[in-house]
Amino acid sequence: MRIVQMLPDNTLVGRFFSVGHSNNEADQFFKLLEKHNVKELVDVRSIPSSGKFPHFKRNALQAQCQRRGIAYRHCPQLGNKGVDGGILALLATEDGAAALEKLASSARQATLLGPKTAMMCAEADWHECHRQVVAQRLLEEFGIVVAHIKRDGSLEHHPSDHVLPPYFGAARAPTLAPRFASAYSAEALCCAEPSLHAGYSRAGPSLAGTGHGDGPLGDLTAFAPRDPLQMPHTPPAPAAADLPPEPPSSEDAKPKRRWKRA
């Protein structure tokens, strides 16, 4: 039996997205952004260009964003090329850390129904892109769950147990602070406010969040540690004295001679 702690709806206040332009036509790509109310596009390509798809070159993309009322900015500080060590090396610099914090600020300032921010690179699948590293760091350091926009427009929330591939030099699952370990709902939790983080921290490291409400995003809930009295009981091993006697061996079962040979 688990104790459910209901948290107020106003703790779920923001979203942050990740998207890859892939080989989409311009209209297809912007429909993905429009579907999720993305009004700021952060280009995390080291080199904002595309030989095969010229509409995703920096100047062309920026002009298209402007026509659609979307703010565009290039953020090479969160790219993955042009420096030894790639994205991990960039994140270790002051500029990289500041750029990551700026993304976190955009996520926190986004309201539930208001405009959102998305980081963009080339790969459609975030598993094949350095966006996974940025998403992981946003989760670990700021408690922000990135929603990855898939090619069909559906969302995949960055998993809490995602393991970075070895080529990023960090093949490990995220080391989440206890207050961030429950920053998930089953439907669409993307950003947890500091007040929510504090609530998780007070509850302890064994929480596991979920959401099953009737609202558009579900109720944000946290599961407290199970009552020890409700834990399955494992009886102790019996003492030697309590063990039943072993059955007699075949030799012991033979009748004993009661006479001597003549």
β 4-6/221-223 pair status: antiparallel
CATH number for the region 15-173 comes to: 3.90.190
Q: Above 70 in pLDDT, residue 29? A: yes
Contact 120, 170 (CB under 8 A): no
Distance CA 156, CA 124 (A): 12
Under DSSP, the state recorded for 172 is S
Distance CA 193, CA 63 (A): 34
Task: Name the nearest CA neighbour of 8 among 136, 141, 192.
Answer: 192
Distance CA 223, CA 2 (A): 7
Q: What is the pTM of this model?
A: 0.64
Specify the amino acid at residue 142.
Answer: F
Which helix (H) or strand (E) segment is 148 a member of?
A: strand 147-149
pLDDT digits (tens, 9 = 90+) for 207-236: 233 333 333 333 222 223 333 333 344 445
Distance CA 132, CA 117 (A): 16
**Choice between 220 and 155, residue whose per-residue pLDDT is larger:** 155
Q: What are 179's two structure tokens?
A: 């207050």
Distance CA 48, CA 207 (A): 41
Q: Above 70 in pLDDT, residue 80? A: yes
Distance CA 53, CA 124 (A): 14
Residue 84 has what pLDDT? 80
Cβ count near 11 (within 10 Å)? 16
Mean pLDDT lowest among 106-115, 116-125, 166-175: 166-175
What average pLDDT does this structure show over 137-166? 92
pLDDT digits (tens, 9 = 90+) for 156-166: 999 989 999 88
Distance CA 13, CA 1 (A): 30
pLDDT digits (tens, 9 = 90+) for 9-25: 332 334 799 999 999 99
Residue 191 has what pLDDT? 41
Instruction: Mark residue 55 as left, alpha or beta (left: phi above 0; alpha: psi -120 to 50; beta: remaining).
Output: alpha
Confidence of residue 190 (pLDDT cuts 50, 70, 90): very low
Spans of all domains in the chain: 15-173
Contact 231, 12 (CB under 8 A): no
Exposure of 109 in the CB half-sphere (CA atoms within 13 A): 10
Distance CA 73, CA 9 (A): 32
Q: Above 80 in pLDDT, residue 245? A: no
Distance CA 138, CA 173 (A): 14
**Choice between 112 and 234, residue whose per-residue pLDDT is larger:** 112
Residue 168 has what pLDDT? 80
251 burial type by CB count under 10 A (0-12 exposed, 13-18 middle, 19+ buried): exposed
Which helix (H) or strand (E) segment is 4 a member of?
A: strand 4-6
